[in-house]
Structure 1
Amino acid sequence: MIEIVALPNSNFQFHVKSKSGSILLTSKDFDDKTGLEDTLSHLNNLQIARGNFERKTNHQGKFLFNFKDENGNLLGSSQLYDSEAGMENGIKNLRNRLNELREL
């Protein structure tokens, strides 16, 4: 499921959620709903490859990933993971979820 969120500062975000309701990806902030909807439309047609994921470690040693489009523009970021394996599993789950949502 993709959930659209109105933020207190009048911006918008979307969350890609797992079947159990966990947030797999939080999008960047959008100034208006049109930009958000354009990105969601683009996401539906995006061919997801390894290069769409930027793997990172924060200053506390936690793992996360950024999800980018084919031009390297940031679409969203993951939650923090305690292990690299957990982050890789998060990437796999996001990829699978996006593919499932396309089929609907």
Structure 2
Amino acid sequence: CPSKEGCYKEGAQTKTYSVTIKSHEHLFQKRFQETPYFKEMARNRYKIEAKNAELKQRHGLDVARASGLFNMELQAATTIFVVNMKRIMILIDQKEE
């Protein structure tokens, strides 16, 4: 066996050799992750994740207040509106100082 080293241990009862076969989707994703676009987006992801965490932890977006997709969309929209208004108020206060 050309891959004898690392395939099995001397004195073992059985010998196994495994090769991982990637699907087309996995290969496509692997190539995509090597692109400059993906690397740039990954560098900025922490900002988006921080905002999502704020929406969920501080503003109640972690729990649906009513059932149904429309109600969840309405809850998300109003929560994002409130967070944006808070940000605008902070920026206005900073500008006045």
TM-score (norm. length: structure 1): 0.28
Higher relative contact order, chain-length normalized (CA < 8 Å, sep 6+): 1
1 or 2, which has the higher strand percentage?
1
Q: Which has a greater percent of helix?
A: 2
TM-score by length of 2: 0.30
